[in-house]
Homo-oligomer: A and B are copies of this chain.
């Protein structure tokens, strides 16, 4: 039995509340874990002036030169109208550029500029650092297990 009482006095707010049922749900726990980790990612990306979605988009473009808007949308579950503003900001900052798509004049290929590639590489290192056990509280084996189970949940049994 612990006598946790780091707080002075102990206001109403601090009294324990039973959230047992919610804590038994995968959705509840996955959401809390995602918010916690993404909060750390947010902080690490701040020096680069990137939000989490912007980093995701920049990373997909960097790793897939010539990818189209629709492909980015499909890969990241972003709706096309919501990607327009994101791409515009990244383009205005000189991080990406659009070029004519060979073979389909409706589409346009997306490419990172040299500056975009440089920023993405630095940001990727910063983001990867969040996976360390100091932040995740997991060792390498636990982390691998967790990711495999999460992929199974949202990709189905087909998840590798």
Complex interface: chain B residues within 8 A of A147 (CB): 23-24, 26, 29
Complex interface: chain B residues within 8 A of A154 (CB): 29, 32-33, 35-37
Q: Given A22-B59, A24-B147, A60-B17: A137 and B152 within 8 A (CB)? A: yes
Whether the pair A131, B71 counts as a contact (CB closer than 8 A) is no
Minimum CB–CB distance for A116 against chain B, Å:
15
Q: Is the interface of A mostly helix, strand, loop or mixed?
A: helix
Interface string of A2-39 (1 = CB under 8 A from B): 00000000011111011111111111111111111110
Complex interface: chain B residues within 8 A of A149 (CB): 138, 142, 145-146, 149
Complex interface: chain B residues within 8 A of A143 (CB): 26
Distance, CA A45 to CA B23, complexed state (A): 18
Within 8 Å by CB of A153, from B21, B63, B138, lies: B138
Instruction: Flag whether A107 is at the interface (Cβ < 8 A).
Output: yes
